[in-house]
Amino acid sequence: MQHNIIDEAKSLRRYLHQHPELSCFEENTSRHLIERLKSDCSPDELIVFKHYGIAAIFRGKEPGKNVLIRGDFDALPIQEINDFEHKSRNEGVSHKCGHDGHASILYGLARQLSLERPERGDAILLFQPAEENGAGAKGIINDPLFESIKPDYAVALHNLPGYDLHTVVWRSGTFTAAANSIVIKLNGKTSHAAEPELGINPALAMAEITQLILKENQPDLNADDFRIATPIYTTMGDQAYGVSAGYGELHFTLRAWENQVIWEHEKKCERIARQVAGAHKLEIQIEWTQSFFANFNHERVITAIKGAAVAGGLKTEQRATPFKWGEDFGIFTERFPGAMFGIGSGKDCPALHNPDYDFPDELIQTGMIIFREIISQLQD
């Protein structure tokens, strides 16, 4: 039976890989997962959230701690260059972060739990959309239906290229960085390029803002106040050589290990932009997008993760510094004791978000084993 479950989870993974959908547009993916959960897994309760999220709940035989396990299922706007049988059928969209694998691990776990409920407490398997743009976790947390779910702990994993296959990568404290993106819009006054003094061109202000924001960087990975701003995009005027531009935009992504540090950094960057814009008589608009909380790993949950790895005969590796990428599971670890860990995808595995990446099917069983054991460990 176990062998059949693994094969079916692998088959699901390849189906999801063939039919990827972007963040906030996962209607067909969600529908397919709901159908599979209903027909194959018989959860005690199935909650369908407003924006495609799903929670499959399996009640324990006795009262105990409720453990939420999160797996995401959105894809990326990347053209796949692989040429295997299960390659993406959707032009310009593909699973290049392994979310097809994360969802398939949860499906396999749901199959297991349908045959043998937890000894104690509820297992809450959360299939989450829209991780890549930060909207998914936020939408589920704010959905009124989530109020009926009362997790005592929350756990998630991410596949990690560059680490030995099946290695469990853990870290106390911050696991992934807080991240937020700022959009600075500067409105001046367009004029003839021969008479720039009659207009207000934002070019100098844009250069000053960029220099001042980058001066605020603290790039030391071992510093508690680590923070970096990365220029992402800039635009100004048009390719009209007789016109002095009157409008410009600057986009930066900010990252820090701690939520408090990034919040302070955000305020400083806003203050810099407003002061420079004012000095140059420019109107300014500031917007924030794709915000991610830092993932803070609770020691109780980390202990369970390490214990589960040992019980499963898996190699473990402690990560020295957090990962610099953002992950929206941080909104769960901000509200509940929780943790995120990694599972190695292989030393030679293509990097995440590369056009040739493909989630290793071998990790499905590994993820199922460790999640099942974590649920048990958190009851002790």
> 49 with 155, same domain?
yes
Q: Is the pLDDT of residue 318 over 70?
A: yes
> 87 with 8, same domain?
yes
CB of 305 within 8 A of CB of 319? no
Q: What is the CATH number of the domain that holds 53?
A: 3.40.630.10
Mean residue pLDDT across the chain: 97
Q: Is the pLDDT of residue 258 over 60?
A: yes
> 138 with 80, same domain?
yes
DSSP state of 188: -
> 21 with 129, same domain?
yes
Q: What is the CATH number of the domain that holds 197?
A: 3.30.70.360
Give the end of a domain, one of 249, 266, 292.
292
Mean pLDDT value of segment 132-147: 97
| C-alpha–C-alpha distance, residues 91 and 152, integer Å | 41
Written as one letter, the residue type at 168 is: V
Q: What share of the chain is helix, strand, coil (3-state, %, to 5)?
A: 35, 30, 35
Beta-carbon neighbour count of residue 197 at 10 Å? 9
Domain that holds residue 84: 2-175+294-377
Spatial CA neighbour of 149 closest among 33, 68, 38: 68
pLDDT of residue 301: 98
> 153 with 195, same domain?
no
309, two tokens: 């790895």
Give the end of a domain, one of 239, 267, 292.
292
Q: What is the pTM of this model?
A: 0.94
> 232 with 369, same domain?
no
pLDDT of residue 1: 47
| 219-234 pLDDT per residue, tens | 999 999 999 999 999 9
Beta-carbon neighbour count of residue 313 at 10 Å? 8
> 9 with 146, same domain?
yes
| 152-193 pLDDT per residue, tens | 999 999 999 999 999 999 999 999 999 999 999 999 999 999
Q: Which helix (H) or strand (E) holds 256?
A: strand 247-256
> 204 with 81, same domain?
no
pLDDT of residue 19: 98
pLDDT of residue 157: 98
Domains identified in the chain, total number: 2
Mean pLDDT value of segment 319-328: 96
Q: Is the pLDDT of residue 272 over 90?
A: yes
| 344-379 pLDDT per residue, tens | 999 999 999 999 999 999 999 999 999 999 999 999
**Torsion angles phi and psi, residue 289, rounded to 5:** -145, 155
| 102-136 pLDDT per residue, tens | 999 999 999 999 999 999 999 999 999 999 999 99
Q: Which residues contact 13 (CB under 8 A, 6 or more apart)?
A: 100, 101, 103, 104, 359, 361, 364
Confidence of residue 50 (pLDDT cuts 50, 70, 90): very high
> 326 with 254, same domain?
no
> 303 with 225, same domain?
no
pLDDT of residue 377: 96
> 144 with 188, same domain?
no
pLDDT of residue 117: 96
Q: Which residues contact 332 (CB under 8 A, 6 or more apart)?
A: 68, 70, 137, 141, 154, 156, 338
Q: Which residues contact 257 (CB under 8 A, 6 or more apart)?
A: 174, 177, 178, 224, 226, 294, 322
Give the end of a domain, one of 226, 257, 292.
292
> 331 with 344, same domain?
yes
